[in-house]
Structure 1
């Protein structure tokens, strides 16, 4: 059974909201920490900007005083004072730079550890089969009035005549292998061609002796052909899910690797992280744990600057870029999912006016609309990508 990674969102349609799937609370906790990071950095930056401005003014005053200096001793004194103020200014600028890198690195780390709870809902989309089951039910000929009884007559004809006709013999073998046709099998490819030929032979064998059965057979033939076309169109859409699943799996692996490296660099035990954050359902405890991670991230930047004076910014910047890339890839993955969901609307539009299957197809429309709306409201792919591309602050 192929994984359909989006259908747990049907929980929204039926007003069921599993704790692991509802992201509003989780997002609020993450956003609260991110807002605190921005505020702290902004306040620090403002204070340092003010201090740098004051020091610039002192330097200007000294420069003006030097122009009117009346003695060598006074000039030397002013120059010493000027050097001291320049050193203070350089230190303030370094602190300003440290504040900016710290805030951006904290933002990267908080986003990275929170991605686990963002990716998890996508992995849980296989938990609900309702929408997918209805899609299959439309393509299941046995669910249409009269088809099952007619198919029994047709199958009897195939078994009786198979020894004299190669097409009927092949059809008989297929039917004995797969049983009655259902939506889970689908009437597509070589199977459909063989079946169509056999139904045609069956109709021709009826002649005019049984007008009622002949009329019913023509109707069932038309229904079978429409369902074959529908199943083929549906399968083309669903084949795209394997690509989406691969993208998500690769993203998950990269994210896991980066989380493991980040936790190690912050001296955070993975089991402790799993228990106190990923598995934690108490919002306050989750918030406190994220704040702890935020503080450790700050210490990491300070330590990097102290111990790697020449390359500390490069190391921090690389980590920031890695997280941003992951966030954008996650947004692209959800965009891919949403785009594929849209294709189901094209499928509905194509078949909803068909006289044979239109009624069943129309029943999908409302649920599909709510599915798309719920997904967009939960993940909002375009906003996610936009936010990820602007996740760092430049002061």
Structure 2
């Protein structure tokens, strides 16, 4: 489980701040250019529609014997219709070309590891403390009892098959290195074995017998806590698997686009992925944007690729959009799972119900969890990721495009 949690944290580190704090300069520049060009085309289309409407009315009003005038009006109408067709053909290419640039820059942001180190360290501290709750040998109730038990076992328990089995089970639950979950059949075996042991020793070992109830209580409480925690941990495993799959798809899609646009992979790693300055990464994004624009112009001029490139770029666009939206959904699940830890801590923090030695450690968890929640909240906004992903290719400040 610890490995899965660390994978989850590493997964966050690859994707976090690039969503929450987008490198807005190049992204905004692309959106502004896209919206401006589409608005200009939309305005031209509306003017063209008015012109066509007027020419049609003019044509209808021309007398049939005014042949020359009628021919000129028909020629003007044909020019206007040709202009309309040119606008209708140009508009989707402008939209796809600039949205393709936007998709690539967003894909770069997804890939870049810009996660703040303190979130990783605080999360690591929390999960380390969380895992330590079920370390039964750290509790005085257990360590004091175990000391008395070891004395008894060395004198009378060794050699008895039943107590050998109990001793083996005790070693499993008390040795953290064994990584045996503190719930299920092993804990049940220890509980029943200890009860049998106490019945057999009778009044011969009062210290061992008197310490047993408090030991069994802390053992069962820690076991119950671990069992409930395991349900939450299971969700982390699922999130980790999906995050790893998303990262794999992201890397694959990035490789495809680098190859498609003729961008050098080594330069990407040097000037973007391994760059330490935001300004350098932003400059690289802008270089890529211009390179993509040149590539599209070349494909549009080539008869072999003229009609094919918009479809391929649209495929890239919607794959990027899907990745962003899925990441937003994953971060929403992460936030829910973090809140479930808060519920778990609340359930086990009442010292009137549980041993103070146990609740004290649980309450320490609460402080660290608040730091994790605070850092996570500043780095992620799942609702915004999902909403932004849904509208990332929708133009802003453009009126309805009649006929487009």
Q: TM-score range by the shorter chain?
A: 0.7 to 0.9
**1:296–1:276 CA distance, 2 compared to 1 (3 A):** same
**1:158–1:240 CA distance, 2 compared to 1 (3 A):** farther
| CA deviation after TM superposition for structure 1 residue 154, in Å | 1.2
Q: Does 1:51 align with 2:48?
A: no
Which structure has more relative contact order (CA 8 Å, sep 6+)? It is 2
Cα separation, 2, equivalents of 1:322 and 1:300:
20
Structure-1 residue corresponding to 2:354: 355
**1:283–1:331 CA distance, 2 compared to 1 (3 A):** same
- Secondary structure, in 3 states, of the residue corresponding to 2:182? coil
| CA deviation after TM superposition for structure 1 residue 164, in Å | 6.2
Q: Does 1:93 align with 2:88?
A: yes
- Secondary structure, in 3 states, of the residue corresponding to 2:394? coil
| Structure 2: runs of 5+ lacking an equivalent | 399-404
User: TM-score scaled to structure 1, two decimals?
Assistant: 0.85
Aligned residue runs from structure 1 range 1-395, under 5 A: 1-5=2-6, 23=17, 27-29=21-23, 31-69=24-62, 71-117=66-112, 125=120, 129-162=124-157, 165-175=160-170, 178=172, 180-182=174-176, 185-208=180-203, 211=206, 213-306=208-301, 307=303, 308-353=305-350, 354-356=353-355, 357-394=358-395
- Secondary structure, in 3 states, of the residue corresponding to 2:112? helix
**1:381–1:166 CA distance, 2 compared to 1 (3 A):** farther
| CA deviation after TM superposition for structure 1 residue 263, in Å | 0.3
| Matched-pair contact (CA < 8 Å) for 1:327–1:388 | yes
- Secondary structure, in 3 states, of the residue corresponding to 1:23? helix
User: TM-score scaled to structure 2, two decimals?
Assistant: 0.84
Number of residue pairs matched by the alignment = 384
**1:234-253 deviation digits (Å, cap 9, x = unpaired):** 22322333322221221111
| Matched-pair contact (CA < 8 Å) for 1:7–1:129 | no
| CA deviation after TM superposition for structure 1 residue 187, in Å | 2.6
Cα separation, 1, equivalents of 2:173 and 2:57:
99
Give the RMSD, CA atoms, in angstroms: 3.2
**1:53–1:275 CA distance, 2 compared to 1 (3 A):** same
| CA deviation after TM superposition for structure 1 residue 179, in Å | 8.4
Cα separation, 2, equivalents of 1:224 and 1:213:
15
| CA deviation after TM superposition for structure 1 residue 222, in Å | 1.0
